[in-house]
Amino acid sequence: MAKGASFDNQLLQLIFNAVAIAGLAQNAATSPLTSLYVALHSADPTASGTQATNEVAYSGYARVAVARASGGWTISGSSVSPVAAIGFPACTGGTATATNFSIGTAASGTGEILYTGAISPTIAISNGVTPQLTAASTITES
């Protein structure tokens, strides 16, 4: 079932910019998330997975916090993208291929996935490589 285009935009603003939907949804009154956490995955974590599902595991890797604010995410219509490139820590050992990313609720562990998507082209990670998702990485609410 489709949602209204205006509601798509409002939903993205609530999740990514912490903007309430008047009369319907408020940002948590006590200790709301101030950041969302972006993770890299070596395979699709699937809708039933967590941020730890298929998460890359090179030496030096960590999820990246992006502010839940207009300074962290740009929302246009039914789409959201990061304001700036999301740079992950440089690989200091091991290898991985990042094929997917997720946006979730935890800095580490089994955080809840809010959105996930494929990375194209995939990112081959080896010693000295600093993976990043560009500001052109877009999620579209449908």
Is 37 a member of any domain?
A: yes
Is 54 a member of any domain?
A: yes
**pTM for the whole thing?**
0.93
Is 140 a member of any domain?
A: no
Kindly list the strands in the beta sheet with 64-67, ordered across the sheet, starting from the edge strand earlier in the chain. Answer: 64-67, 35-41, 96-104, 113-125
In this predicted model, what pLDDT tens digit does every residue of 30-55 receive, in sequence order? 889 999 999 999 999 998 999 999 99
- Please provide the distance, in angstroms rounded to a whole number, between the alpha carbons at the two ends of the chain: 9
In this predicted model, what pLDDT tens digit does every residue of 103-130 receive, in sequence order? 999 999 999 999 999 999 999 999 999 9
In this predicted model, what pLDDT tens digit does every residue of 6-31 receive, in sequence order? 899 999 999 999 999 999 998 887 88
Is 72 a member of any domain?
A: yes
Strand ranges for the chain from DSSP E = 35-41, 64-67, 73-76, 79-82, 86-87, 96-104, 113-125, 132-133, 139-140
In this predicted model, what pLDDT tens digit does every residue of 94-108 receive, in sequence order? 999 999 999 999 999
Domain carrying residue 43: 5-130
Is 137 a member of any domain?
A: no
Average pLDDT over residues 71-81: 94
pLDDT at 122 (0 to 100): 96
Report whether pLDDT(1) > 80. Answer: no
**How many domains would you assign to the chain?**
1
